Amino acid sequence: MKFHKPNHNQKISSKTTLLPYGRQSIHTTDIDAVIEVLKSNWLTTGPAVKTFEEALCSNTHAKYSIACSSGTAALHLSMIAANIGPGDNVIVPANTFLATANVVRLMGAEVIFADVDPDTGLMLAKHAEEALTRTEAHRVKAIIPVYFAGQCSYPAQLRELADAHGLLVIADACHALGTTYEADKTRYYVGSNTHSDLTAFSFHPVKTITTGEGGAVTTEDPDLAKKLRIFCNHGMVHNPEEFQNHALAQSSDGSINPWYYELSQPSLNYRISDLHCALGASQLSRLPSIVRHRRALAAHYRARLTGLGPLIRALTVVDKCDAAWHLQVVVIDFERAGITRAGLMALLKENGIGSQVHYIPVPWQPYYKNRYGTARLPGTESYYNSCLSLPLFESMTMTDVDRVVDMLVDFLN
Ligand SMILES: Cc1ncc(COP(=O)(O)O)c(C=O)c1O
């Protein structure tokens, strides 16, 4: 089948809005919230951080939430709090952003890449189980399921597998703020950690809500929460009950020196500012309507794509998962369509439509390939060869979706 340029007037005029694959939506209330902080006494480590963390807890039904400077920081902090280190192995899906694997290596631990389901891009329990057989099982300390595109991969099944092997589950939910799922006839919020130990979120501008740059970790475990807070701030301990060097901590009358702090394990400055959190709290107050709209846009994409398979189809919807769609991925049979992915992306771009590929399989990156060689990951390979992310963001309309699909259909003939 040959592709062709559209024969009707689809060329976007300079006045027509360009549609990137993702972008932030900033309302005047968001701007007002940030200005308020600029006029206040606190630009960082102030009340807006606490307000944002509390709002995150109520939106995810989590007990503890620790906001930090990025999703990468959230994952790295999770690794530090979980005491992942040299000699440990961590299972990571091959279809993810670099950060999910990189934080494991930054701790000196090894990554065991798991395959993914070609129809959803998700690592399922069976893929994690297969990855376990490729390594010394006793060395595996954690699994990091990635809730790709906003869908989660049957968290209860992964929890069961993790429990059978004594593993931690650290969910990379950078795509999935607002997603819920059902297990045992109960509905759970991603981030409530019923089936995980820690959950990491990202608030990069293309994500469901944004803080500019930002992230957070949620947990139900008070010890992990305490560690996350300490490691988010260099590893500084401020609680006198935990001080070890009493001679340095106390003055001659036995009282604690007011300037005193202590370090038991080094970390980094992963703090988020009040400016970021004011934006985040303002955006979070709209989360239900943002998620509703993203779901409606994704449903419209699915409806419009129905019947166009096997040439083009949306990702398979995971049973019992109500995703807060972060990405609108379609699976295209490029060979059958007679067009390359790069060619299609160029045509879309020429006509004002952004697209992206999520993701180049991480084990194929030179660093990981040199370290681990080539693993057989057929699901990942099949998914990667056919995926394309189309525009999906808060300020899009159904008409925008129609425009994208009409153009795709035309290009794919
Ligand atoms: C799956 C996944 N994990 C981690 C990250 C890292 O988040 P951040 O960009 O906020 O550091 C991203 C960001 O794109 C992501 O998509």
Q: Domain limits of the chain?
A: 28-284, 287-412
Q: How sure is the predictor about 361, in pLDDT bands with cuts at 50, 70 and 90?
A: very high
From the list 18, 96, 7, the residue with the least C-alpha distance to 404 is 18
Ligand 1 in reach of 71 Cβ (< 6 A): yes
**How many other β-carbons are positioned within 10 Å of the β-carbon of residue 59?**
20
Distance 124 CA to ligand 1 centre (A): 20
**Token duo for residue 399:** 């008409």
Angle between helices 341-350 and 398-412 (to 10 degrees): 130
Q: List beta partners, residue 347.
A: none
User: Mean per-residue pLDDT for 16-35?
Assistant: 93
Ligand 1 in reach of 377 Cβ (< 6 A): no
Give the pLDDT score at 60.
98
pLDDT(347) > 80: yes
User: Mean per-residue pLDDT for 115-139?
Assistant: 96
Q: Residues 233, 239, 241, 242: what is their CA dihedral angle, to the nearest 10 degrees?
A: 10
Atom of ligand 1 nearest to the CA of 99: 4
pLDDT tens, 182-203? 999 999 999 999 999 999 999 9
Strand 387-390 relative to strand 140-143: parallel, antiparallel, unpaired? unpaired
Ligand 1 in reach of 328 Cβ (< 6 A): no
Q: What percent of the chain clears pLDDT 70, i.e. is strictly above it? A: 96
Average predicted confidence (pLDDT) for the chain: 95
Distance 5 CA to ligand 1 centre (A): 35
Give the pLDDT score at 18.
87
pLDDT tens, 252-267? 999 999 999 999 899 9
Q: What percent of the chain clears pLDDT 90, i.e. is strictly above it? A: 93
pLDDT tens, 39-64? 999 999 999 999 999 999 999 999 99
Give the pLDDT score at 153.
87
Give the type of residue at 191: G
Q: How far apart, in whole angstroms, are the C-alpha atoms of residue 170 and residue 155?
A: 11
DSSP for 340-382, written as a single string: -HHHHHHHHHHTTB--B-----GGGSHHHHHHH-----HHHHH
Active site residue 207: yes
User: Mean per-residue pLDDT for 94-98?
Assistant: 98
Residue whose pair of structure tokens reads 């139900």 in the numeric block: 220
pLDDT(14) > 90: no
Tell me, rounded to whole angstroms, the distance of Cα 155 from its chain centroid: 15
pLDDT tens, 270-325? 999 999 999 999 999 999 999 999 999 999 999 999 999 899 999 999 999 999 99
The preferred substitution site among 95, 100, 172, 174 for testing ligand 1, maximizing ligand atoms within 8 Å of CB, is: 174
Give the pLDDT score at 15.
40
pLDDT(161) > 80: yes
pLDDT(170) > 60: yes
Class of domain 287-412: alpha beta
User: Mean per-residue pLDDT for 151-163?
Assistant: 97
Comparing 28-284 with 287-412, is the CATH topology the same?
no
Q: Residues 39, 43, 45, 47: what is their CA dihedral angle, to the nearest 10 degrees?
A: 20
28-284: CATH architecture: 3-Layer(aba) Sandwich (3.40)
Q: How sure is the predictor about 104, in pLDDT bands with cuts at 50, 70 and 90?
A: very high
Q: Which residues of 329-360 are buried (b: 16+ CB within 10 A; e: fewer)?
A: bbbbbbeebebebeebbebbeebbbbbbebbe
**Token duo for residue 219:** 């947990």
Q: Which residues of 139-166 are buried (b: 16+ CB within 10 A; e: fewer)?
A: ebbbbbbbbbbbbbbbbbbbbebbeeee
Distances from the Cα of 185 to the Cα of 145, 176, 259, angstroms: 22, 21, 52
pLDDT(236) > 90: yes
Give the pLDDT score at 281.
98
Give the pLDDT score at 137.
87
Q: How sure is the predictor about 9, in pLDDT bands with cuts at 50, 70 and 90?
A: very low
Residue whose pair of structure tokens reads 């308020």 in the numeric block: 36
Sign of CA dihedral 50, 56, 61, 63: negative
Give the pLDDT score at 413.
76
pLDDT(207) > 90: yes
User: Mean per-residue pLDDT for 97-114?
Assistant: 98
Candidate list 15, 185, 207, 227, residue with the active-site label: 207
pLDDT(6) > 70: no
From the list 110, 90, 38, the residue with the least C-alpha distance to 197 is 90
Give the pLDDT score at 263.
97
pLDDT(99) > 50: yes
pTM above 0.85, yes or no: yes
Distance 204 CA to ligand 1 centre (A): 8
